[in-house]
A and B are shown apart, each in its own frame.
Chain A
Amino acid sequence: MLRPRVILTLFWYLAKNRTINPLLKRRSGQAMIVLVTAIFIINAVEYTQNLYSSPSLLVSMEPFLHSLGLNHVTISLIISAILIAYTIYVLFRGKPIYIPEEIYETVLSQPVDLEEYMLANILETISGPILLLPAFLGLALFGLFMTNDPLRAILFMFGSLIILSAVIIIDTLFTLVRRKTGRKRLFIVLFIGILVASVVHSLVIHGYSPILALPYMPIAYALVAPLATSIEVSQATLSLIIGYSEIIGLALIASFLARRIGIEDLSPKSFYRGKIFEGGKAKIKFGSPSEILYSYLFTGRIFNPKHLGGLIIIMAVSIIAGLAASAYFGVASQINAYFIEFFIPMMTGMALYSLSAQVIAWDLRCYWLYRVYAIDMAPVAAALISRLATYCVGAGLVMLAGLSAYFHDPSMIIITAFYVPGGVIAGAIQLMILSYMASKKQVIRETPAGIYTVEGFTAVMLEIVIIIIFMSISGLAFYLHSISVEALAIGAVISLFTAYPLHRFLRRIVGDMMTYYDILF
């Protein structure tokens, strides 16, 4: 016997806690809304005053995308394929359904049916992104940047939110399928079958197989359609509605399966308790505290066989992918400036963004310990800057390896050197903002969507800053590359030599900031 009132009460307060209050009641949330709205309006006004005389970024990128065999349909197919792969991953993972610990203890001990909780949760998850609309105007901004069209930009924003909802609902649904139906093998076979068949078919027809569209095309298309200039706005709107219908359909199936859920299927997720120094083996070392901290936080963490092995594998994959792409589509005769200047920094920024959450989680978690034992925070800052910079350089290296394979131009690898000072600057900025944030609110806990909303926005803002840094650096590097390899090499050497003084200078500043601000737990 489900009680709609209980479900609605649950839904309302879950949503309030996760999205509504952080935006409306917390100053950082309010500031975010004002800022993003202002930026969007300014840009929209500029647009209506016809200041966008040049073609949109997307239009300029089109020839290049086409040379890769990409258009709105094929991109939708690729996104659909990624969702299929994600489904398979969820089916194999088969973890319990995680609930944030605070919800687990305070809600599940109430006279609430587990099914009622699941329904409220599903409702909250798929509507959560919509409640966040004002904040996601940032996505609309990106859409505007790509299309020069506010209407499409808004549609794109909804489209992006649909992907967020899709990932969450796929996660919930197939975790339930795996745990609560006797048919998990059937589903695994089905999805792997779709994936294998589509890959084989794609290879045979030398293109993207329509089989890829099978389960998730409506969702993928809803994301892509608003950006495709060849599709009417009205049609893009329709595809959005169809996409959301699929989400609701999946949610209904999940709700149905939620009937059979038991308390043992749910598991509280606590992020911050548990072992402080996880993963590291205890080794006795002698040295100054700063040396030990540096090796614990940087060298010991990064330069281990597992990471290096991983890097080699990813680079190999990247190079093979680059070679395969050039064999398939032919070597592009000319480097597309937009691609280089926009795409690489984007990807590097993305990589840093996703890592920033982990840095917050794993390093700042035992921050109090450093504060107690390390009087000077500069070594901690130094190690963390080095680490973030290494991530940047690693991400750049992988990207550049693939690109140089694609263009048959090994000299491109040299560009990696430019990412060393870039990574130092980006890492330092990131740490400054993070330590400031951590002093303003309690340390981030994980939620099903990753991190809490406000932290999420701050991370997005951070990413924008980092992307700008990387765009300028990549721009410079590729400009030198277009002059001559010698010019590039000289630039690279200069970059490497500036990196060290830069690091010394910035770690002092960041260290002082970390000493100055308190971290809240």
Chain B
Amino acid sequence: MENYVLELIDLRKTYPGGVKALNGLTIRVKPGEIYGLIGPNGAGKTTTLKIIAGLLKPDHGVVRICGKSPVKDRVEALKNISYVPENPLVFKNLTVTEFLKFVVGLRSMKWENVKDHVDYLLEGFNLTDKKNKLLIELSRGMIQKVLVTAALIVKPRLLVMDEPMAGMDPEAQYFFKQTVSDLVEKEGVTALISSHLLDMVEKFCTRVGIISKGKLVAEGRIDEIKKMAGREESLEKVFLEIVRG
């Protein structure tokens, strides 16, 4: 059981309006994986990640992050993750540096210990000159990069990111993939990344799960999934086939 960084077992969630967002979802993520959760819009990706991040309570099922439940043992469970939300909304009136210091402070870490890493990431994301700007003055894509930076500097056991590359330019996407791969290889970080874009997942994730209507419909290494469809085709075609049933 302790072999998994993340265990989601038979999750169900119905929103107050009656939408069944999750319908018996089970996913297990092992240390050192970059797990891509892919699926069409409305499949339940964001709902899943919000449950992991302790922002929603599942109606049914088990969530364990390094063995801890974010429902029962919130602080201990969330210490192991950092979460990048789908919509880049942040405190508007904090500067980039203040926001990063805030996040670091909440984790009882020392700013001096992460400062070099912060500088490296901001440089890589082309944000060095924005360090002391208020977040309200940044564009949506820049805010996305700040949120990703905040998630990376704390070097969590599990990175949970909801469509993190959505607003990034190609250069930043490249830097992002490089940095996450590095963290996974060298720092013992594991990642769970959702996306509706397939090509980004293809060369980046070590394993993917395809989610549709709140259920996992296929899971495996990319070549395995392709084999499941019986052909060596692009992931995109396989994806469409699986999702359409």
Contact = CB atoms under 8 A, between A and B. Distances in A.
B136 A111 contact: no
B94 A110 contact: no
A458 to B, nearest CB: 15
A245 interface: no
Interface stretch (B2-10, B102-110, B193-201, B212-220): B102-110
Contacts of B94: 13, 16-17, 21
B57 to A, nearest CB: 6
A518 to B, nearest CB: 15
A106 B91 contact: yes
Contacts of B228: none
Interface in B101-143: 102-103, 105-108, 134, 136
A53 B180 CA distance: 73
B240 interface: no
A108 B57 contact: no
B98 A13 contact: yes
B54 to A, nearest CB: 6
Nearest to B76: A111
A468 to B, nearest CB: 31
B89 interface: yes
B166 interface: no
A441 interface: yes
Contacts of B136: 441-442
Interface string A1-35: 00101100110010011100110011000000000
Interface stretch (A97-105, A190-198, A381-389): A97-105
Interface string A365-396: 00000000000000000000000000000000
B106 A111 contact: yes
Contacts of B82: 109
A244 B50 CA distance: 39
B26 to A, nearest CB: 22
A31 B107 CA distance: 36
Given A105-B55, A112-B75, A9 B105 contact: yes
Interface in A102-128: 102-114
B176 interface: no
B234 interface: no
A101 B89 contact: yes
B89 A18 contact: no
Contacts of B99: 13
B83 interface: yes
B91 A110 contact: no
Given A102-B92, A114-B74, A263 B57 contact: yes
B90 interface: yes
B87 interface: yes
Given A21-B134, A25-B134, A441-B136, A111 B78 contact: yes
B79 interface: yes
B147 interface: yes
B90 A106 contact: yes
Contacts of B150: 106
A262 interface: yes
A9 B106 contact: yes
B103 A110 contact: yes
B85 A105 contact: yes
A113 B55 contact: no
Interface in A210-240: none
A103 B102 CA distance: 12
A252 to B, nearest CB: 23
B229 interface: no
Contact of A26 (B74, B105, B108, B134): B134
A473 B190 CA distance: 69
A108 B89 CA distance: 13
B98 A16 contact: yes
A5 B89 contact: no
B25 to A, nearest CB: 19
A26 B93 CA distance: 9
Interface in A249-268: 262-264
A481 to B, nearest CB: 48
A236 B147 CA distance: 49
A23 to B, nearest CB: 10
Interface string B55-88: 1110000000000000100111111011101010
B192 interface: no
A442 B136 CA distance: 7
A108 B55 contact: yes
A105 B89 contact: yes
Contacts of A18: 93
Contacts of A26: 93, 134
Contact of A112 (B81, B89, B98, B106): B106
A58 to B, nearest CB: 37
Given A17-B92, A263-B57, A110 B108 contact: no
B107 A111 contact: yes
Interface in A427-444: 441-442
Please list the 8 inter-chain residue pairs (A to B) with the smallest Cβ-Cβ separation, ordered nearest first: A102-B89, A109-B53, A111-B78, A9-B105, A105-B85, A109-B83, A21-B93, A17-B91
Given A13-B94, A16-B98, A26-B93, 15 more contacts: A5-B108, A9-B102, A17-B92, A25-B95, A105-B89, A109-B54, A110-B103, A110-B106, A111-B107, A112-B75, A113-B74, A113-B75, A262-B57, A263-B56, A263-B71
19 contacts: A3-B108, A5-B105, A5-B108, A6-B108, A13-B94, A13-B105, A17-B94, A25-B93, A102-B91, A106-B91, A106-B147, A109-B55, A109-B81, A109-B82, A111-B77, A111-B78, A112-B75, A114-B74, A263-B57
Interface of A: 3, 5-6, 9-10, 13, 16-18, 21-22, 25-26, 101-114, 262-264, 441-442
